[in-house]
Amino acid sequence: HLYEQGDLHRIEFGAFLTELCQSIMATFCQDSTEIKLSVDADTLHCDIDVAMPLGLITNELMTNVFKHGFRDHQRGEIKVTLKRHDDAVVLSVSDTGVGCLDSSQCVTEMTTQGIGTTLIKELVRQIEGEFILMQDITGTTARVRIPIHGFR
């Protein structure tokens, strides 16, 4: 889908992010009353070298929401944001899914060793970013911080 954007040196990632999240939502959730999706993305341009890994990261994070956070198709909410913060752009994917019952059961960025997390970490490294995953009884939030120099 990214290659259909035309100019691979100036991809408007905010609009692409919205389309991507809506597409993933449609794949996993046929009943839109069960899970509500909101996407709030600044207008940010980047080239394919940032857009491709960031799109794959988003895909993995959104897929994990459905596989782990809402595995029993309960009701909830997913919030995706892409915002400029001073010298960085922050992608955040949050859900109100199952989370974890107490801090000893929480998965952290340092202890998670699944193939998906390994993929995310490698893609984040490619775009010189930072990744953090937080879980509690209210759900899960994944954040990727990317240096602003990857965007125009």
Question: Model confidence over 24-75: pLDDT tens digits?
Answer: 999 988 766 689 999 999 999 998 899 999 999 999 999 989 888 887 767 8
Q: Is the dihedral of CA 102, 120, 20, 87 positive or negative?
A: positive
> Which residue spans within 42-138 are E strands per DSSP?
45-46, 76-85, 88-95, 130-136
**Residues in a beta bridge with 151:** 46
Global confidence as pTM: 0.86
Taking only the tens place, the pLDDT of each residue in 74-109 is 789 999 999 999 899 999 999 998 866 444 445 444
